Amino acid sequence: MSTLTKILIVLLTISSIFLCGIVVTYVANADNYMEKYQNLKSSKDSLSKEVDSLTKQVNEKIAQKRQVEDKLNDKISSLNTEFTAMQTELGNSEREKAELLQKVNNWTSITKDFYQTNDKQGQLLKNTLGELERVRTEQIKQSKELNETTAALVEKMAIIETLQTKTKRLLEEKSELQSRLEQIYQPMGVAAAKTAPVTQQNTKAMPVMPKTNKIGLNGLVTAVDVKNSMAGISIGSADGVKEGMKFHVVRDDKFVCDILIIDVDSEQAVGVLDLVQKQPKVGDKVSTNL
């Protein structure tokens, strides 16, 4: 045999061995592929079942999610409605707050003005009380002076009454003496001369009246002594009042009486009552002219 033939035989043998190996490998691998296919098919079926189960679960979850979303949407809508209502109430509350603050400011201003007015009224009351106290003090002083003047007038009136009594007694004695003289001179045929009295007899001592028609003094009756027929008036020498003046007393435009001044002070005067139609009262108007 030639070398080439040998080489070809050897090559053929190697090729046969190689092919046998390939066939054996293929057969062995074919069994493995079938098993793998079965395994993969089983896995696929299992996965399909799992996918179906998971799909069902997903669908259930989606349905639950939609229900939850619907509930949440309803709740959100309700909350939005409540929020809108609360915003409206907040706006109303803000307006009420502004109105209340305005009222508080107004009341604060009113209270401030009230306190200021109260302070002013208090100060005015204090001043008025002080003035009243001063007037009371002055009134007490004037009343004291009037009492003293009245007492002096009463004393003067008592003296005048005593003098009038003495005058009357002297006139009676004079008349008696005149009668005796006539009895003495009558047998002799001589008439006794009648003597005129030195002082004219009056029931009351009347001062000389000065003319007051053009003076025009006005005042008020401040005191009345009915027992002694005397009265005091609210004006005196500082106003032009003089002793002997006549003042007319008027009440409600009706004549009451006259007052003949017999004693004058700087701020008041006292006189006797004359032509009494009614008893004068404190507060009646007096004037030199009717």
Please state the rounded mean pLDDT for residues 170-198: 62
Mean pLDDT of the chain: 80
Cα–Cα distance for residue pair 242/179, rounded to 1 Å:
44
Cβ atoms within 10 Å, residue 272: 21
Distances (CA, A) of 13 to 9, 23, 26, 162, 281: 6, 15, 20, 204, 179
- Classified by CATH at the fold level, domain 206-287 comes out as Elongation Factor Tu (Ef-tu); domain 3 (2.40.30)
pLDDT band for position 35 (50/70/90)?
A: confident
State yes or no: pLDDT of 213 exceeds 70.
no
Domains in the chain: boundaries: 206-287
Per-residue pLDDT reduced to its tens digit, 57-109: 889 989 898 899 899 999 998 899 989 999 999 989 889 899 998 988 888 88
Distances (CA, A) of 100 to 97, 108, 113: 5, 12, 19
Per-residue pLDDT reduced to its tens digit, 128-159: 888 878 877 777 777 677 777 777 777 777 77
**Tokens standing for 180?**
């005796």
pLDDT score, position 262: 92
